[in-house]
Amino acid sequence: MLARFPYTRPWGESLRAVLLDRLKLAGGSIVDALPGLLTLVLIVIVTRLVARVVQLFFLSVEEGRIAIPWFYPETAQSTRKLITLGLWLFAVAIAYPFMPGSNSDAFKGVSVFAGLVLSLGSSGIVNQVMSGFTLTYSRALRRGDFVVAGDVEGTVTQLGTLSTKILTARGEDVTIPNAVMVSQTVVNYSRMADAEGVFVPTDVTIGYDVPWRQVRALLLLAAERTPGIRQQPAPVVRQSALEDAYVRYTLLFCPERPDARRKVLAAVHANILDAFNEYGVQITSPNYEADPEKPKVVPKEQWFAAPASPDAAGDLVVRTSAGSAPESSARLPE
């Protein structure tokens, strides 16, 4: 349009020349960049192939198809992520010189700005990621474990890069940041459940005038009547404390399934109440302000009150019914 008028014709001709020069320069730059772009494509293809091989290898390790003595299956997923990230960072470092305009000051300025933004804005994310790797490589948790983390009790459904998900017995899906998981005490009930067994404690406090052998036998009888308790290791009873006015007894038992811990514990409590009521033993924690008229002691003839009974060797036997001690009764150490 400028070239149509005599007064503006010089401007139009000069602008046309500048435009043609810029188009020629841009076309030449594109042609010159084609070898570098081809190199970038080759780097991406090779990196994807290597990352795929790494993924298949560690997936086989995680599923147990490949066994490595010094490598644990639960750490395979995190190791795969680290190696894959390292591969792509290495690929970016190799591909950087072949990127069009990588030597220009503008490209370098944008790169520095992007790195600064990521460094300042991702400090919290990096903390969560490193905490997740700490949980994984310390083997404190794995998917499917029944754990107690702080005041949350449930089954681990996901051990992610940024957070851990726990499904409680009430159906609550709880998400806990990995940094919080690392900073608090986590109790894992599943890790030793299949081997030595994990004991669950429950306490009762009974006065000094009740024979301790009878209380122990009643607690063991309650455990024997409860389904879902392992026989090996067998339940045990401890006199955990001699308080001022009563004795504290602790029953320790191993549930067959760690995730049924609360359910089995409730059943044990119900059977403890039934057993003590059946044999007329009152569950109380007595306290008094003055000495009683009679000493709170157990006469020797009542040391083995039902359901407790000594056998010929002097060991304690749990009687399932008053006045009888079957041959299959559990033998307890003195």
Kindly report, residue by residue over 161-178, the tens digit of the pLDDT: 788 899 988 888 898 888
CA-CA distance, 154 to 151, in Å (whole number)? Answer: 10
Locate 190 and state its tokens. Answer: 């599943």
CA-CA distance, 333 to 234, in Å (whole number)? Answer: 12
Please indicate, yes or no, whether the overall pTM of this predicted structure exceeds 0.75: no
The structural domains of the chain, ordered by start, are 2-121 (no CATH), 135-188 (2.30.30.60), 200-332 (3.30.70.100)
pLDDT band at 291 (very low <50, low <70, confident <90, very high): low
Paired residues of 316 in beta bridges = 310, 332
| Angle between the N-to-C axes of helices 123-137 and 76-95, in degrees from 0 to 180, rounded to the nearest 10 | 140
Using an 8 Å Cβ cutoff, are 226 and 271 in contact? yes
**DSSP state string for 205-223:** EEETTS-HHHHHHHHHHHH
Q: What contacts 18, CB < 8 A, 6 or more positions away?
A: none
Locate 47 and state its tokens. Answer: 């990196």
Q: Give tens-digit pLDDT for 294-332.
A: 777 788 888 888 888 776 334 555 555 444 444 333 333
